[in-house]
Amino acid sequence: TDSGEHRALRSRLVLATVRLHAAVASALLPTPLKPHYAFNLRDMRRLVLGLCRCEPLHYRTAEGMVRLWAHEAERVYADRLVDAKDKSHFDKLLETQLGQHFDLRYAQLVGGEGASESDKTDNFTGQPGEGEGEGPRLLF
């Protein structure tokens, strides 16, 4: 069954996707040196298809699903960027969406600086690391 928690997460993912796309498309415009910066609705489609093609095993928690969303956003948008300034700007745009819609920071998702110890030990599927308690509640 589709719980309210699933619907809320889905709604936040859609809204974050639309807002990230709008921010990227308006901030990273094509130039003669960067004609491939012409972002369009196909890019949003590619991000969503990436989410849909992943096996549910890889995102059994809400945080795992958001991690997958951030990965797909980087794959679709950031992989096309050619210089450090543009990549840094994209990172800020992604960080903004993570904060606004999921109350998360990128470092928390990937276990980097600023992440708690449990953020660093949980794996992609959200299963607890060795020596931890029961771990996060599963969505599916």
d(CA 92, CA 23): 10
Q: What is the pLDDT of residues 66-98, one digit of tens each?
A: 999 999 999 999 999 999 999 999 999 999 999
Backbone angles phi, psi at 76, to 5 degrees: -75, -45
Q: What is the mean predicted confidence (pLDDT) over 95-115?
A: 84
3-class SS of residue 8: helix
Q: In 3D, which of 113, 97, 119, 106 has the Cα closest to residue 67? A: 106
What pLDDT shows up at residue 121? 41
pLDDT, mean over the chain:
82
Output the pLDDT for position 5. Answer: 79
